[in-house]
Structure 1
Amino acid sequence: MQGEKEKKQKFQMPHIYVILFLFSAIAAIATYFVPAGEYERVPGPEGRTTIDANSYTEIEQTPVGVVDFITVIPRGLIDAGEVVFFTFIIGGMFMVLRRTGIIEIAVDKLARKFAHNSIMLIPVLTTVFAVIATLIGTPELSLVYIPVIMPLMIALGYDSIVAAAIALCGTVVGFAAGVLNPINTGLGQKIAGVPVFSGIGFRLVIFVVAVSAAVFFIMRYAKKIKKNPLNSFVYEDDHEKRDLYQHGSQVQIEEKTTTTRQKYAILATFIFFGILVYGVLAQGWFMVEMSGLFIITGIVVGLIAGLNTTEISEGFNQGFRDVLVGAFIVGVARAVAVVMEQGHIMDTVVHSLGSVVADFPPMLGAVGMYIVQLLINFLIPSGSGQALVTMPIMAPLSDLIGVTRQTSVLAFQLGDGFAHILYPTSGYFMAALVIAGVPYQKWIRFFFPLFLIFASISIISLIVAQLIQWTG
């Protein structure tokens, strides 16, 4: 009885809906006390709107009232519409692909290939995902990767955290290091007046170090799971997945065979993936265009594999249902920013944090910028959005405190990047956790030590950049 009582008294992390609602409520209360202010918006690089760093003015207080507050979640869903529907469509497309059998075939072949050295899949996949993200700047592709690699990781005796970590850590490292990332490096350097993609050598070193740290950390956890599945943070959560994908300790005895139609379907899938990469790199595609391509991919690949239109439609429906919670969380997360923008305190917070950095001694100036960007990322989880709001302030500020503009861009990249898979206000990240079936609190238990490693790498990199007065 006493044991049961202790279990009941044990603290439990609130549901993610509760956490996000509380953040929204705190932001709403803050609109009554934090002075309202705004920067003047002006045209920026590539037709984007940015801010005039010298134009901050306090304005009349516009607190968020009760009626306004009860609408912030619906408006958050509307504002985050691209990510919400992107999540739905990815879930639908992958369910159609699963119904064709080609995902199971790919998993079976990879499982056989790595059956005796499965741990090597972790560095291979993590590095591939990191390279793609550092070239095209889309950490949201982790939403695409997780459904593909999840069956494979479970079949090889790992858990859903390993699958999520390979996709999320790989993409976020690539995005943060930003070797040739147009979303953060390119845009940040344009705003700061730095030659675009200059300083590639230093960023490449950061990329290699961060990828190595991520791979080592994930492999260390994966080995514990392989040795004893009970060491998994999500052992109970993965019960259904193990029943679905594992067949004893070894790969299935009968190797899956591929029909002619499935072979053509696999070829079509690779062609569509090639179109996706071309569209993102050459045509500037983002979520809307990618979503449209995924719908066509599901339909065409499904038809080639032999599914009829009803089976394809039901596949999409089932996929939509599977990611419903994740899609909704995206909108709830966006509600925090909606409150701050409506109460006109977002610019006030940014201005105040920027003023704090101005008081830092030169040696710590770059580190101060990193901390500020890290804090702001909680409120503005979009890389491009954060660049447009903060870099017009941080770039001239860096001149005043003796930090090179190249270093100020790096502080933005590192402060913005790694926190994407830490904060619950990051929409795509929360959607990815739901797709993976990993509770947020269990992800934090796994990831937070690695985040501290990433933070250490970031701070050391910025101190080195400041010492050498890095200009690229």
Structure 2
Amino acid sequence: MTLGQKKKREFPTAFTVLFIILIFAAILTYIVPSGSFSRLTYDDTTREFIITNHNDETQVIPATQSVLDDFNIQLDLAKFEDGSIKKPIAIPGTYVQIEQQPQGLIEVIKSPILGTMDSVDIMIFVLILGGIIGLVNKVGAFDAGIGALSKKTKGKEFILVILVFALTTLGGTTFGLAEETIAFYPILMPIFLISGFDAITCIAAIYMGSSIGTMFSTVNPFSVVIASNAAGISFTNGLVFRAIVLVIGSIITLAYMYWYTVKVKNDPTKSLVYDENKAIKERFLGDYNPDIIIEFTLRRKLIILVFTLAFIILVWGVAFGGWWFEEMSALFLGIAIIIMLLSGLSEKDSVNTFISGAADLIGVVLTIGLARAINIVMDNGMISDTLLNYSINMVSNMNGSMFALAQLGVFSFLGFFIPSSSGLAVLTMPIMAPLADSVGLSRDVVINAYNWGQGLMSFITPTGLILVTLEMAGTTFNKWWKYIAPLMGIMAIYSIIALIISTFI
């Protein structure tokens, strides 16, 4: 660099962005008063309610409908007895401000460690996945498969985008496909790159597919179903309208994605990751050379088949088998052993290749732990309930469409701090849903506001999956923001219009 030449400023990595947000969260614990709602839990073994107050003092009382009525919890006892509501729910009118719980330097330094310990299940899954990717790459199965696929999709490349988006949207709207999509990037990114798309398009097809599906959930048990149960209504209320909104929202998103791909195809320099393309291709394509034909042998076909079957089994397990990361990790570990046996590599070479592949995703793993640290700091600072109480006070005196729109804003705001859809549902619905009664609206309007508000924020929430995804893809948040900001604005306007319509249905 010559004297006087300015060094190009680079956007901070995911680690730095998350650490800045972690510090900001810690500062909030000094500014936002600490507070807590009392919570009610149902013990299905003793058929009793356990009330826990802000001092963690518990009271055990018989589980009856009259007790729920006394606590102004407008839910049927059957919802607890049949297991529809399992998590503790906030009791309306019990918020109290407590002694401030500021999170200082020691707590901030410890939080990434605690976040790592709390996220070890997903970390193990990612490391095993990395090991499998290393094995599949080592035997040339990816390169051979990509070469064969690129010939068949020539001239019909956008069908790949539609297919991936449709499948991930379907997963999002039915069973909340989210964290599981981390497994898709190593296999799909090379295919997208060979097909002429940039990394942003691949991220959008996978991440926005699951995000749009989750945002406009129809039967997702982790959002709309649990929220409806906590609101005291059936999840089928408003189901047809939600399905229509999902289809239109998906078409809008696909149209935006198509516009971007055409722009980049006409002028590759318009790609938001143009300056990173070389590094991204080296990361995902390695030594792949389209001019060198790698034979798609029976061995390589079997390995790709086994690898693909793993994803089909994974989707089945999550959707119908009640699986979580323990079962998913076990599945992929078994797949890794099978691929080792099929690879033809020596025992030493296959094990070292697996370890090397896992090491390539260490950065992704550490990002997951740091993202969880932010939630830990806010939880320990006891400010989430205070933010909820502020939100309740803000919307309680509104009426009609203004109430619905305010709810959308509230859930967008709360979704930034509480990325868990089920956690936000059980915390807010017992209090928020009855407010709809007082303004003459159906409670499913609140469910829609909850779904769409939190879902909209998931496009960019750092404590969610986006920074983990970007770390996996090898790009930065500023590139994603430039891509997603216009679409986020479009989807916000669309959600507002749909929500207003829902108040008249």
Tell me whether the two structures share a fold, i.e. TM-score over 0.5. yes
Q: CA deviation at 1:293?
A: 1.4
State the match for 2:469 in structure 1.
432
Q: Is the 8 A contact 2:176 2:220 kept in 1?
A: yes
- Give the one of 180, 194, 201 matched to 1:162: 201
- Give the one of 82, 85, 89 matched to 2:124: 85
Q: Is the 8 A contact 1:366 1:408 kept in 2?
A: yes
State the match for 2:364 in structure 1.
326
State the match for 1:172 in structure 2.
211
State the match for 2:182 in structure 1.
143
Q: Is the 8 A contact 1:16 1:440 kept in 2?
A: yes
Distance 1:169 1:283 in 2: 25
Q: Is the 8 A contact 1:365 1:403 kept in 2?
A: no
Return closer, same or farther for 1:52/1:85 CA change in 2, 3 Å cut-off.
farther
**SS of equivalent residue, structure 1 residue 202:** helix
Q: CA deviation at 1:308?
A: 4.0
**SS of equivalent residue, structure 1 residue 55:** coil
**SS of equivalent residue, structure 1 residue 42:** strand
AA at the equivalent of 1:325? G
Q: Is the 8 A contact 1:185 1:197 kept in 2?
A: no
State the match for 2:67 in structure 1.
none
Q: Is the 8 A contact 1:157 1:225 kept in 2?
A: no
Distance 1:25 1:266 in 2: 44
- Give the one of 487, 495, 499 matched to 1:450: 487
Return closer, same or farther for 1:228/1:365 CA change in 2, 3 Å cut-off.
same
AA at the equivalent of 1:32? Y
- Give the one of 330, 334, 338 matched to 1:296: 334
Return closer, same or farther for 1:301/1:399 CA change in 2, 3 Å cut-off.
farther
**1:421 matches 2:421:** no
- Give the one of 243, 250, 266 matched to 1:204: 243
1:235-254 equivalences under 5 Å are 235-242=274-281, 245=285, 252=290
**Percentage of matched positions with identical amino acids:** 29
State the match for 2:26 in structure 1.
28
Distance 1:164 1:27 in 2: 27
Distance 1:41 1:84 in 2: 31
- Give the one of 413, 421, 434 matched to 1:383: 421
State the match for 2:499 in structure 1.
462
Q: CA deviation at 1:372?
A: 0.9
Q: Is the 8 A contact 1:336 1:425 kept in 2?
A: yes
- Give the one of 269, 275, 278 matched to 1:230: 269
Q: CA deviation at 1:4?
A: 6.4
Return closer, same or farther for 1:106/1:130 CA change in 2, 3 Å cut-off.
farther
Distance 1:73 1:124 in 2: 37
**SS of equivalent residue, structure 1 residue 236:** helix
Return closer, same or farther for 1:73/1:266 CA change in 2, 3 Å cut-off.
closer
Q: In terms of Rg, which structure is larger?
A: 2
**1:55 matches 2:94:** yes
Q: CA deviation at 1:123?
A: 1.7
Return closer, same or farther for 1:66/1:255 CA change in 2, 3 Å cut-off.
closer
Deviates more, 1:286-295 or 1:160-169: 286-295
Distance 1:362 1:220 in 2: 37
**SS of equivalent residue, structure 2 residue 276:** coil
Return closer, same or farther for 1:2/1:66 CA change in 2, 3 Å cut-off.
closer
AA at the equivalent of 2:484? F
1:316-370 deviation digits (Å, cap 9, x = unpaired): 3233222222221222222222122112111111111122121333212111111
RMSD: 2.6
Deviates more, 1:21-30 or 1:236-245: 236-245
**1:104 matches 2:143:** yes
TM-score by length of 1: 0.90
Return closer, same or farther for 1:120/1:268 CA change in 2, 3 Å cut-off.
closer
Distance 1:150 1:2 in 2: 37
More helix by share: 1
**SS of equivalent residue, structure 1 residue 48:** coil
Unaligned 5+ segments in structure 1 are none
AA at the equivalent of 2:328? M
Q: Is the 8 A contact 1:357 1:369 kept in 2?
A: yes
Deviates more, 1:324-333 or 1:309-318: 309-318
Distance 1:430 1:263 in 2: 33
AA at the equivalent of 2:16? V
- Give the one of 125, 148, 152 matched to 1:113: 152
TM-score by length of 2: 0.84
Q: Is the 8 A contact 1:97 1:298 kept in 2?
A: no
1:352-391 equivalences under 5 Å are 352-391=390-429
Return closer, same or farther for 1:201/1:84 CA change in 2, 3 Å cut-off.
same
Unaligned 5+ segments in structure 2 are 42-79
Q: CA deviation at 1:11?
A: 6.8
Q: Is the 8 A contact 1:94 1:298 kept in 2?
A: no
1:40-79 deviation digits (Å, cap 9, x = unpaired): 2222635323322332222222222332232122222223
**SS of equivalent residue, structure 1 residue 467:** coil
How many residues of Structure 1 are paired with residues of Structure 2 in the alignment? 463
Deviates more, 1:170-179 or 1:305-314: 305-314
